[in-house]
Amino acid sequence: MKQEIIRRSPGEMFSLEGKTALVTGASHGIGFAIAKSLSDAGAQIAFNCSSAESLERGLAAYRNEGIEAHGYVCDVTDEPSVEAMVAEIADQVGVIDILVNNAGMIRRVPMHEMNADEFRRVIDVDLTGPFLVSKAVIPGMIRKGGGKIINVCSMMSELGRETVSAYAAAKGGLKMLTKNIASEYGAYNIQCNGIGPGYIATTQTAPLRERQADGSRHPFDQFITARTPAGRWGTVEDLTGPAIFLASPASDFVNGQILYVDGGILAYIGKQP
């Protein structure tokens, strides 16, 4: 399929005006920050949560930011539920132009202590979920003449670490799913790329950054900052520029790539003792 090359001004290259974006699991944290940035760039925002309670909290958070977001209760591992949500978004907001597969989970258990059901649950949320939501939105993108899919991967798409066997397996698989979607649907003007966050300062990681009783830094905090050339944890805001880039016309010839936003940690062997 031959694609028309459109010349745009620098401002137009990063504009999302008139676009509809679905960000999964975006009631708080990284997903919320990405959704807010896409809204700031002009997109209409839809998001999902797994419960009515988290949906209400999410809608209140968007209202506090002056964003008219559209929220849905949907389990991304349930195919009929995903298909119904995508159809509802198309009817109420618009056919999805931008999908950010952000919903995810991690379970930190030594591999020999993790049972198969626990392993499968992480795989279902972190890998099967992005497959199902991408599968549901791609036909609409094809009919519309293109689209953007952004998968939230991880440094664990590249590295292993103790107690995260299921998470690393899922995120490694998500990296390859990203490349395959790019390969299979690039001819339809669909770009699929990933963002690989490094260690990000969120409420979930706050206990790892708390000062100890003697005033010293948490050992894990010391470990991460020593391994990161930037010398700090990332912030959710550090992920918003890359998200806008990958969602916008500025990345129309970028496909199948993982953009690691990690302060350089994957490029760094660490200081000599």
Cα separations in angstroms, 123 against 22, 105, 261, 273: 21, 9, 23, 37
| Nearest residue to 147 (alpha-carbon basis) of 161, 137, 160 | 137
What are the residue numbers of the active site?
Answer: 167
- Spatial contact of 179 and 256, defined as CB atoms under 8 Å apart: yes
Cα 200 to Cα 222: distance, rounded to the nearest angstrom:
14
- Spatial contact of 158 and 198, defined as CB atoms under 8 Å apart: no
Cα 175 to Cα 117: distance, rounded to the nearest angstrom:
23
Phi and psi torsions of 73, nearest 5°: -90, 120
Cα 55 to Cα 48: distance, rounded to the nearest angstrom:
7
Task: Give the torsion sign (CA, 257, 262, 266, 267).
Answer: positive
Helix (H, G, I), strand (E, B) or coil at 98: strand
First vs last C-alpha separation in the chain: 55
Helix (H, G, I), strand (E, B) or coil at 143: helix
- Spatial contact of 133 and 99, defined as CB atoms under 8 Å apart: yes
Helix (H, G, I), strand (E, B) or coil at 73: strand
